[in-house]
Amino acid sequence: MPAELMLPEMGLEPMGGGSLREIQFREALREAMSEEMRRDDRIFLMGEEVAQYNGAYKVSQGMLDEFGPQRIIDSPISENGFAGLAVGAAMYGLRPIIEFMSWSFSLVAADQILNNVPKMLYMSGGQWGCPVVFRGNDGAGGQLGSTHSWCVEGLYANVPGVKIVIPSNPYDAKGLLKTAIRDDDPTFFLESERMLGDKGHVGAGEYTIPFGKAALRRQGSDCTVVSFGRPVNFCIDAADELKKEGIHVDVLDMRTIRPLDIDSILDSIKKTGRIVVVDQCWPFASVASEVVTQVCERGFDYLDHQPLRVNTEDVPTPYAKNLEALYLPHKGKIMAAVKSSLGRL
């Protein structure tokens, strides 16, 4: 079963982390990196503008002052170059954190992060791994145009050998990032520029969150709604609105899609008989497609209605503000899908 970890603003008390403060998503990321760098001097942060400029999005603000230029390192605008450096550094025994200003720019480094990093442990017969955390902004950032708005998880999740983490709130961002930094496998940590200023309750003490364990954000027996990352918050809004109409849904926040907690999804479907998967990737060969496939393979007999998906529209990301809003998953689309599964449209 999924962990029933709900933040105060989501209905229940969180588990772990000691006393709570309300801080921004970017501050939660900074805390995670700083705490781990104090614990382990093999860890360093590298990326464009992470040092002197305090980070393009101020995630690494103040870290240069504390850790110095040997551990907080500004790089040239060359994702292929500094991603490749991370491969060698990790094989040598260091534990790099590599920041992509946008995951859209990671495509420039595809040979390093997809052809080298995930395969190194296998190809070396277990002699050298690549414990690198690649992190940065994923998805539509708000009128940035098509080439700066990639949701890469649908593309990158196809590659075995990496773990993919997509937090939906500041509490999870800190706990999951600390787990990623300690993990001996390479991890892609996908953030959202649109969420960096979001505030949430975060534990001041030490805590980590295990990979492959979904969190139950809302509880209900009518339909299972599955999502990850920023759209989880749209699902919560939709669930609260549907509740006013007498429709009660489970909202599962997957947190990680590699590994995927399919068991928690199946447990929920046994109760509800219906599933809607909300995914900010394009629909063809998306993460939602994989979830639906696994549900049909392992849980077909539990279903009372065919699985439904809510994805972004199958077009390049629009620049216009109104078109971008229509293109993305949103509360209205999610509510309509849930009602459709119940035959209430």
Cα 261 from Cα 9, distance rounded (Å): 24
Catalytic pick among 148, 153, 201, 324: 148
Closest residue by Cα to residue 329 from 307, 345, 313: 313
Closest residue by Cα to residue 195 from 26, 54, 21, 321: 26
Token pair listed for 218: 């809302």
Torsion over CA: 193, 234, 199, 165 (sign): negative
Task: Check if the beta carbon of residue 224 is closer than 8 Å to that of residue 266.
Answer: no
Which residue carries 């940065």 as its tokens?
136
Task: Check if the beta carbon of residue 293 is closer than 8 Å to that of residue 311.
Answer: no
Catalytic pick among 27, 36, 79, 191: 79
Is residue 35 part of the annotated active site? The answer reads: no
Element (H, E) at 16: none
- Length of the chain as a residue count: 345
Closest residue by Cα to residue 83 from 191, 190, 193, 186: 186
Is residue 148 part of the annotated active site? The answer reads: yes
Which residue carries 């509360």 as its tokens?
331
Residues 6+ apart with CB under 8 A from 94: 42, 43, 44
The residues carrying an active-site annotation are 79, 148
